């Protein structure tokens, strides 16, 4: 996503009002690589703006998705997570702590065209599941 300042400009240019609620969401997302849920964003915004409603947070997040500023990450568990990183990357989901990490897989994954002719691949999503370093340490056998 763009910086909160750039988003402010873009919203104004589009005739959208730059409200404190929207700016609160901008800042809650900026530099946030935790793949937060809408509720997590809500909690962060409420720290400085206790009266903001969850409904509005959802609204702003969906506006940002429609503008292509952020992405939605659906990992099959519970709620949608929001990702200010829209560059191509993959995800690692820890089964211990539930955290989602950005990763970059080595190989370019492709469908073998000879086996799947006429399949038009437009997007590829890779999800690794396992234990993150912190959670692996906990249950690791002590030497």
Partner DNA sequence: GTGCCAATCAACAAGTCATGTTGATTGCCA
Partner DNA sequence: TGGCAATCAACATGACTTGTTGATTGGCAC
* Residues in contact with Mn ion by the rule CB under 5 A: 83, 85, 102
Give the contacts of 79 (CB within 8 A, at least 6 positions apart). 37, 38, 39
Distance in Å, CB of 70 to Zn ion, minimum: 24
Measure the CA–CA gap between 46 and 89, rounded to whole angstroms: 30
Cβ atoms within 10 Å of 85's Cβ, excluding its own: 15
- Asked if 26 and 4 count as a contact pair (C-beta separation under 8 A), the reply is yes
Segment contacting DNA (CB under 7 A): 58-66, 93-101, 119-127, 135-143? 58-66
Residue 96 interacting entry, from DNA, Zn ion, Mn ion, none, C-beta within 5 to 8 Å by type: Zn ion
Interacting residues with a copy of itself (CB under 8 A): 74-77, 92, 95, 101, 103-112, 115-133, 136-137
Which residues are paired to 92 by β-bridges? 101, 128
The maximal CA–CA distance of the chain, rounded, in angstroms, is 62
Residue 94 interacting entry, from Mn ion, Zn ion, DNA, none, C-beta within 5 to 8 Å by type: Zn ion
Interface with DNA by CB under 7 A: which residues?
A: 11-12, 16-22, 37-39, 49, 51-56, 58-60, 62, 78-80
């Amino acid at each position: 996503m763009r910086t909160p300042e750039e988003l402010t400009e873009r919203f104004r240019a589009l005739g959208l009002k730059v409200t404190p609620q929207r700016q609160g969401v901008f800042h809650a997302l900026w530099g946030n690589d935790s793949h937060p849920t809408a509720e997590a964003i809500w909690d962060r915004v409420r720290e400085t703006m206790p009266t903001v409603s969850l409904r509005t947070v959802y609204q702003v997040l969906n506006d940002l998705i429609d503008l292509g500023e952020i992405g939605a990450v659906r990992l099959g568990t519970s709620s949608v997570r929001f990702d200010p990183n829209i560059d191509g990357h993959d995800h690692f989901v820890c089964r211990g702590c539930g955290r989602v990490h950005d990763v970059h897989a080595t190989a370019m994954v492709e469908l073998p065209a000879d086996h799947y002719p006429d399949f038009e691949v437009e997007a590829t999503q890779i999800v690794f599941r396992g234990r993150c370093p912190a959670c692996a340490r906990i249950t690791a056998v002590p030497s």
